[in-house]
Amino acid sequence: MSVESVESRNGNYPGLGIGQPVGVAILGKGTVGSEVLRLIQEFSENLEQRIGGPLEVRGVAVSNVEKHKNAPEVQGIELTDDARSLITRDDVDVVVEVIGGIDYPRELVLTALKAGKSVVTANKALVAAHGSELADAANEAGVDLYYEAAVAAAIPVVGMLRRSLAGDQVQRISGIVNGTTNFILDAMASTGATYEEALAEATRLGYAEADPTADVEGHDAASKAAILASMGFHTRVTFDDVSCEGITKITAEDIDAAKQSNQTIKLLAICERLYDEDGKTKAVNARVHPTLIPNDHPLASVDKSYNAIFVEAEAAGRLMFYGNGAGGAPTASAVLGDLVGAARNKVHGGRAPAENPYANYPVVGFDEVATRYHVNMTVNDRVGVLAELTRKFAEANVSLSAVRQEESGDEAHLIVVTHKALEKDLRDIVDRLSRHPDVQQVNSVIRLDA
- Report the binding-site residues: 27-34, 124, 209
Kindly list the distances between the CA atom of residue 210 and the CA atoms of 20, 60, 85, 200, in Å, as whole numbers in the listed order: 45, 27, 33, 10
Q: Are strands 94-97 and 79-80 parallel, antiparallel or unpaired?
A: unpaired
Binding residues for NADPH: 124
**In 10 A of CB 12, how many CB atoms?**
9
Other CB atoms within 10 Å distance of the CB of residue 419: 15
Are 87 and 27 in contact by the 8 Å Cβ rule? The answer is yes
Residue list, annotated binding site for NADP(+): 27-34
CA–CA separation, 254 and 252 (whole Å): 5
Q: What distance in Å separates the CA atoms of residue 361 and residue 235, rounded to the nearest whole number?
A: 6
Known catalytic residue at 282:
no
d(CA 73, CA 208): 27
Binding site per annotation, positions for L-homoserine:
209
**3-class SS of residue 113:** helix
Q: Which residues contact 288 (CB under 8 A, 6 or more apart)?
A: 218, 221, 222, 225, 242, 243, 244, 245, 246, 267, 268, 269, 270
Report helix, strand or coil for 442: strand
The residue type found at 52 is G
In this structure, how many other beta carbons lie within 10 angstroms of the beta carbon of residue 84?
13
Give the residues across from 258 on adjacent strands.
none
- Give the C-alpha separation, 356 to 371, whole Å: 29
Q: Which of 69, 117, 224, 259 is catalytic?
A: 224
Residue type, 432: R
Catalytically annotated residues: 224
